[in-house]
Amino acid sequence: MKMLRWVTVSPDQKRVAYKSLGKLYVKELPNGKPHRVTNDSENDELFPSWSADGRTLVYAS
């Protein structure tokens, strides 16, 4: 991954969400594989934020 921005760890400390090259990814900690949050190829995905229980990730697009 390149140019990581808006890195945020889930409240349970088990996952991390971040932006890389305009797209959001979630990765299991400590050694999981990054997965795209959406399949959207047209819009930037910005400002990820976890819900208080860590089950939901919200973001701007």
Q: Is 47 helix (H, G, I), strand (E, B) or coil?
A: strand
Question: Residue 28 has what pLDDT?
Answer: 97
Range of the domain at 45: 4-60
pLDDT of residue 2: 78
Question: What average pLDDT does the segment 44-49 reach?
Answer: 95
What would the pLDDT profile of 1-45 be if each residue is shown by its tens digit?
A: 678 999 999 999 999 999 999 999 999 999 999 999 999 989 999
Q: What is the pLDDT of residue 3?
A: 87
Question: What single string gives the DSSP state of each residue in 6-39?
Answer: EEEE-TTSSEEEEEETTEEEEEETTTPPPEES--
**Is the pTM here over 0.85, yes or no?**
yes
If one counts the domains in the chain, the total is: 1
